Amino acid sequence: MYHCNRIIKKMKNRLVLSILAIAMMSTSCTKPMNGNAEIRVGYTANGQPLMLDSLCYTNEAGNRFMVNEIQWFISKVALISEKGDEYSLGKVFYFDTNLPETQIIATSSIPCQKYTSMRFTFGLDQEDNVTGLFPDPPENNMFWPDHLGGGYHYMKLNGWYLNPNDSLIPMNIHLGIGQNEDQSVFYQNYFTVELPLDLNLEEGATNVIHLNMNIDNWFRNPHTYDINVLGGAIMQNQEAQQILKENGHDVFEVSTDESQTLRIARAIQDICRKASPKPHFFSLKKS
């Protein structure tokens, strides 16, 4: 009798162990694998990599221009799978050509699957664009005055253009909330961009998404943007804001394969970054 009880007890233990093992195996089989992705930002103009501080570009209206710096937000960034599932990459991203560390954004724990498009809001929508959202620089330096609608600039694209008298005039393509003449009515100028993408996100690999801003397209399609007519400073010019908003639909492109143009752009940006003088800090010679 005692012997039988021992055998039954042993069998029970084995059964419990087997159930546990099967449960663990089934859990590990169904657990989705995750991967990481990087968004790398680049800029092109006139079909070439953008060279900052160079008066070598001409827009659709024939205005010659240069770009000194670009600072901008995208928000509500999501990858969309071929099944239609959406995966949020983050609420708000800030890019600044003066701050190389902002030009690459690393994201992690993204479910491994095939993604067929990427969607984001250019700028910040009404839900996100709240005064005081960013207490710290550099994002805080993008604030948009409350008198003009509040929140933050969606983008500051600063540079110069040549007017018909061949004088250089500041070009401040600053996008944000627009307003009417007496600032009693406000207009939301953010817009949503959804771009096709062919990303098979793999575990253990660096999955890179190249996001390019084509500067030319801000100035064309469907509207030709003539800086001489619309002016270089447009925070209080809703007509100009509206044109840029409507032109913005094809300004961006995303790809997992860095194009030749982008590769050159990145190489030149790296060279410029290395060549640009680093901040010279006071040198301590303590005895």
Partner 1 sequence: MKKHLLLLLILPLILIACHPNPDDLFNPTPYELPSPLFFPHKNNIPADNPMTEEGVELGKLLFFDDTTRHCEERQRRSNPSCCASCHHPEHSFEGGPEATLENLGTEHTMLPLINLVWNTTGLGWRSNVKTLEDMVYAAYTDPSEINADTTEVVRQLQQSATYPKLFRKAFGTDKINFVLVEKAIAQYVRSLVFADSKFDRYLRGEEQLNQDELNGYRLFITEKGADCFHCHGGGSNALFTTNLRYNNGLDAEDHGTFKAPTLRNIALTAPYMHDGRFSTLDEVIDFYSDSVQYSVFISPLMHHVNQGGTRLTPEEKQQLKAFLNTLTQE
Binding site for partner 1 (CB under 8 A): 68, 131-132, 134-137, 140-141, 143-148, 150, 158-160, 167-172, 174, 232-233, 235-236, 279-282, 284, 286-287
Nearer to partner 1, 39 or 243 (CB): 243
Residue in the structure block whose two tokens are 């010659």: 64
Residue 228 CA to residue 232 CA, distance in Å, equals: 8
Nearer to partner 1, 81 or 236 (CB): 236
Nearer to partner 1, 18 or 163 (CB): 163
Residue 173 CA to residue 122 CA, distance in Å, equals: 14
3-state secondary structure at position 180 = coil
Distance in Å, CB of 96 to partner 1, minimum: 11
Distance in Å, CB of 279 to partner 1, minimum: 7
Phi first, then psi: what are they for 138, rounded to 5°? -85, -20
Which run of H or of E encompasses 106?
Answer: strand 104-111
Nearer to partner 1, 232 or 248 (CB): 232
Distance in Å, CB of 159 to partner 1, minimum: 6
Distance in Å, CB of 170 to partner 1, minimum: 4
Distance in Å, CB of 243 to partner 1, minimum: 17
Residue 44 CA to residue 28 CA, distance in Å, equals: 45
Which run of H or of E encompasses 90?
Answer: strand 86-96
Residue in the structure block whose two tokens are 């103009």: 45
Nearer to partner 1, 147 or 274 (CB): 147
Nearer to partner 1, 161 or 252 (CB): 161
Nearer to partner 1, 112 or 148 (CB): 148
Alpha helices in 248-284 (DSSP H): 260-275
Distance in Å, CB of 245 to partner 1, minimum: 18
Residues 94/139, Cβ–Cβ less than 8 Å: yes
Residue 284: exposed, middle, or buried by beta-carbon count in 10 A (0-12, 13-18, 19+)? exposed
Residues 41/211, Cβ–Cβ less than 8 Å: yes
Residue 157 CA to residue 282 CA, distance in Å, equals: 31
Nearer to partner 1, 95 or 252 (CB): 95
Residue 247 CA to residue 265 CA, distance in Å, equals: 23
Distance in Å, CB of 144 to partner 1, minimum: 8
Identify the sign of the CA torsion 231, 233, 236, 239.
Answer: positive
Distance in Å, CB of 18 to partner 1, minimum: 53
Phi first, then psi: what are they for 179, rounded to 5°? -150, 160
